[in-house]
Amino acid sequence: MDFWQSKESLTALEWVLRGGVSFIFLLVAAKFMGQRSISQLRFLDFIIALTLGNIIAHPLSDEELGLKGSMITTVVLIVLYITVSHLSLKWPLLRRYLDPAPITLIQNGQIQFHHLSKARISVDYLFSELRKEKIEDIQKVSLALWEPGGTISVFLQTPKQPVTPADIQLSTQPFSITRPIIVDGNINMPLLKERGKDPEWLNKQIASANVTISDVMLAIVDSKDHVQVLNRKIQ
């Protein structure tokens, strides 16, 4: 059974194997490319995503195209992508080409129309993005920038910014974030080790709720190691 090479026809099982191998290969490839290439589609990311999509997609729909050649080409492109990404950190000229400086769209409540043309966006789109930021009056905007990733960063005029506890000298509690420590009866062991605790400690923490770990649907822990059971499993 050879589903790697080009053939006049493939059996149903060979199509399944080709699809499964391609899926796993893309998972590994995406991991090597890093999270940034997924969450932020830069110029270089757009090129690589468009190219890889075409290279892998064609052998999955045309049996006359071999999968082996597509995977080799993909590996080469990933190596080039990682190399160029690293070089851009050392070569300012390459970095400016791949990640150009942001473009000023609004300054002190005034739209920079010549910059709108440079960013290739319309006034309607700009106002749409401002509405997403809950800004109803452009005069409130001190600065709006068109970022290389295709998003707009908006900064309000100082008098229009929300009041913070520090502005009125109000005392506050230290910042604390909660994270899931038990999900569907399973302990988040990496988080437990990060806190320097063990399952025995966790059992003691939830004992006050009269449940065992296997009975818990969701439990969270805060920055002070306080555990709270939010949901129990339905018996």
pLDDT at position 164 is 84
Strands 216-221 and 186-187 come out as unpaired
pLDDT at position 39 is 44
Sign of CA dihedral 71, 76, 80, 83: positive
Instruction: Output the six-digit token pair for 227.
Output: 């555990």
pLDDT at position 71 is 75
pLDDT at position 93 is 85
pLDDT at position 43 is 64
Q: Which long-range contacts (CB under 8 A, 24 or more apart) does 150-159 make?
A: 150/41, 152/105, 152/126, 153/102, 154/106, 154/129, 154/130, 157/108, 157/109
pLDDT at position 207 is 87
pLDDT at position 158 is 87
The per-residue DSSP string of 58-111 comes to GGGT-TTS-HHHHHHHHHHHHHHHHHHHHHHHH-HHHHHHHSPPPEEEEETTEE
- Tens of pLDDT along the chain (235 residues)? 565 565 666 667 766 776 677 667 766 766 666 544 444 566 667 677 767 767 777 676 666 666 677 777 778 877 888 888 888 888 888 888 777 889 999 999 999 999 998 888 899 999 999 999 899 999 999 999 998 877 899 999 988 888 888 888 888 888 888 999 999 989 999 999 998 999 999 998 998 888 888 889 999 999 889 999 988 876 5
